[in-house]
Amino acid sequence: MYLADRSAPAPEGAKTAPARGPVRAPAVASTVLALGAVSMITDISSEMVTAVLPLYLIAGLGLSPLGFGALDGVYNGVSALVQLTGGHLADRVRNHKLIAGIGYGLSALCKPLLLFAHSLGPISVILTLERTGKGLRTAPRDALISLSTPPELQGRAFGVHRAMDTTGALLGPLAAFLILSLTVDGYDAVFGVSACVAVLGVVVLMLFVPSGADPGPTPSAGAAPAAVATTATATVATATTAATARDADRPAPVRLRDALGLLRLPRLRNLAVCAVLLGLTTVSDAFVYLLLQRRTGIGDQWFPLMPLGTAAVFLLLAVPAGALADRIGRRTVFLTGHALLLAGYGLLLWAPAWPALPFLVLALHGMFYAATDGVLPAAVAATVPGELRATGMALVGTGQALARFGCSLAFGAAWTLWGTGPALAAAAAGLLCCAAVAGFVLRPSAPVGAAGHPTHPEPTRTDPARPEPNRPDPTRSP
C-alpha cells in the first residue's frame, strides 16, 4: 500500500471525505514475504535431509552417539564460523542479496552430492560445504528483513519470516516420511528430491527478492508536505550540486575494525554473552528427538515425523510471539522461551511414560523456538546501525552457534560416558543457571535521565528499537 499525495487543494464546492487519520503502511514488507518464500522452499529441502540424517548415520552407518555429536557439532559449527564472513562481506559490498544468493546456491549444489556418498568421510565433507552455504546466507538474509521493516515491527517481521520458514520445516520431514514409505532406496530418493527443491529456492530468490538498494526513508503521512517541498527543491538543483550531494551521502566502506568494534556497544555485548551462555546448554534438536524416541519407544518408521510436532507449534506461535515481544519486551519473551525448554527437559527426565508425553515435549520444544528464534535477531537489530546490521547479527549468531557446537560435543560425550539421564540432567542444570545469569545481565536499568539507556532491547522510549534523533535511520538499507 502506498500513500497518495493529498496536499493539493480540492476543487471549490467538492465534497470531501471525513478525515480517517494517517494511512497505515503494511505490517510486513514485501521483501520479508519474498525471503520467507525462499526460506520455506529451502527448508523443505534441508529438513528432508535433516529428518533422516540421525537415523541414517546411527542405524544405517553404525555411528556412535559420540561420533554423531561430533558430526552434529561440526554441522552447526561450520555454519557459525562462516556467518561472520557472510555478514561482513554483505556489509562491505553493500549487496545483501548477492551474498545470500551465493549461500543458497552453494547449499543447493551440495544436495545431489549426497547421492554418491555412502560413508562417513564424504558425507562429512558434503555436510560441511552445505553448512558453509547456510552460514553465508543467514546474516545477509536477516539484515534484509531488518532493513526493510520499521523498528517497532521488527519482532513481527521476524516472526512472519520464521513462520514461513517453519512451514518448510513442517513439510520437509513429511515429504521424507512419504518418500521412505513409498520407495525402495528411500534415503537416495530423499536426497534426490531434496536437491530439486533446493534449486527451486535459488530460482525464487533471484526472481522475487529485491537487491536491497537503498530506497530512502518512507515519509509518514504528517510529513508529506515537507517531503514534497524537499523533492521540489532537489528537482531544481544543478547537476553539480546533486553529484556533490550524492558523494557526501555515500557511506564509507565498512572495515573489519568497524565490525569488531561493535562488541564495544554494551547492549550488543550483553546480548552476545547471553546468547553464548544459553547456547552452551541447548541440546540439539537431533538429540532431543533421539532421547524422546528412547524414552517413549517410538518406532524407527515414525522418527522422521518428530520434527513435525516442533515445527507445527513453531508455525502457529512464531508471529504471535514476535508481536508479543514488540509489545511487552523482547527480554521477557526470550527468557520465557528458555524456561519452556527447561520444562521440556524436565518431562524427558522425570515424567511417567504417558501416551501424551511426546506431544507435550514437542509442543514445549516448538514454543521455545517461537519465543527465541525470531526475537533474538529483532533485539540485535535494535542495537546495531544499519550499515553494520548484517555484521552485528553475524556476531551474535556465530557466538550462539559455536556455543551449541560445544554443547553437541559435550552432550554426545556425556551420553556415551554416563548415559542419557545424567547427560540431560547436567544440561538442564546448566540451562537453569545460565538463564538466571541472562535474566540478570539483560535486566532493565533504572532511568538515569535523557541520556540513559536500558540494558535490554525492549521497546521503551530509550530503546534502540526506536530511532533516535542523531542516530542513523536503521530502516535505511546500506
Query: Quick count: other Cβ atoms within 10 Å of Cβ 71?
Result: 21
- Span of 76-80, 225-229, 272-276, 325-329 with lowest mean pLDDT: 225-229
Confidence band for 157, pLDDT divided at 50, 70 and 90: very high
Q: Is the pLDDT of residue 12 over 60?
A: no
pLDDT at 336: 95
| pLDDT value for 212 | 56
Report which of 31, 143, 157, 135 is spatially closest to residue 387, judged by C-alpha positions.
Answer: 143
**33: which 3 cell numbers?**
514475504
Please choose, from the candidates 146, 149, 141, 160, the residue with its C-alpha nearest in 3D space to the C-alpha of residue 316: 160
pLDDT at 23 over 80: no
Those residues with Cβ within 8 angstroms of residue 221's Cβ, 6 or more apart along the chain or in another chain: 3, 22, 23
Q: Please report the pLDDT score of residue 384 as a whole number.
A: 87
pLDDT score, position 44: 93
166 has a pLDDT exceeding 50: yes
pTM: 0.70
pLDDT at 254: 64
Return d(Cα 156, Cα 141) in angstroms, integer: 16
Could you give the percent of the chain with pLDDT greater than 90?
Answer: 31
What pLDDT sits at residue 422?
93
> Cα-flanking dihedrals φ and ψ of residue 424, to 5°?
-70, -35
Q: Extract the C-alpha cell encoding 382.
A: 535494535
- Alpha carbons 214 and 236: distance in angstroms, whole number: 23
From 48-52, 245-249, 303-307, 382-386, the region with the lowest mean pLDDT: 245-249
B/e letters for 310-348, b = 16+ CB within 10 Å, e = fewer, are bbbbbbbbbbebbbbbbeebbbbbbbbbbbbbbebbebb
* Mean pLDDT calculated for residue range 334-340: 95
Mean pLDDT of 389-413: 87
Question: Does the pLDDT at position 155 exceed 70?
Answer: yes
- Helix residue spans in 280-356 (DSSP H): 285-296, 306-328, 330-350
Q: What is the pLDDT of residues 122-137, one digit of tens each?
A: 888 888 898 899 889 9
- Give the model's pLDDT for residue 345: 95
Please report which confidence band the pLDDT of residue 302 belongs to, taking 50, 70 and 90 as the band edges. confident
Q: Are 328 and 80 in contact (CB under 8 A)?
A: no
pLDDT of the residue at 245: 43
